[in-house]
Structure 1
Amino acid sequence: MKHAFIAIAVLAVSGCASVNESYAPDGRKAYELNCSGTTRNWDKCLSKAESLCKPAGYDVLRKTGEGRAPAGGGAGGLYGSQTYERGMLIACKPR
């Protein structure tokens, strides 16, 4: 249980956006960016999108978040901290 809490804490405070490859509705390669957490913000997602798609730029296909979700928990219940959930789906513009 202690290891699970440590893993959640590390994910919550890690500084950059996580990335998963996907596809846009029009068939282009797309990226699911997750910049959730207490130390991340939309700037982390936007910076990651710029680095993935430079110099052509990118289209934001979906943007979700800003709600709070509980973080951490165990047999004794939730630890009481909250984190922001943020994510976006982007596709690089054709060159």
Structure 2
Amino acid sequence: MNGMLFQFKVWVKPNAEQQFLYGNNILKSGVGRITEGVAAKQGVVVFSMNETPLGFGVASKSTADCRRADPTAIVVLHQADLGEYLRSEATLT
């Protein structure tokens, strides 16, 4: 299941998982790992540190820029996550 299907990945620390699942962006302080070669504006799959897929996002910084960024800098812009179904369950028909 790995390979090219999920070419660009970001793994979030446990303390950042819940924030992402509530629809928030990922800060550098919440990033556990990031795939080498991610470009700014690149789509990424967001995983927990134990490899559970959590959702999708867009990198706001490249891998290299992420390493130099401030801990409060946004690294991944939230696009979709597993928690969306629960948040919108009442409006689904």
Give the TM-score normalised by structure 2: 0.30
Higher normalized helix content (fraction of residues): 2
Give the TM-score normalised by structure 1: 0.29
Structure 1 or 2, whichever has the larger Rg, is 1
Higher normalized strand content (fraction of residues): 1
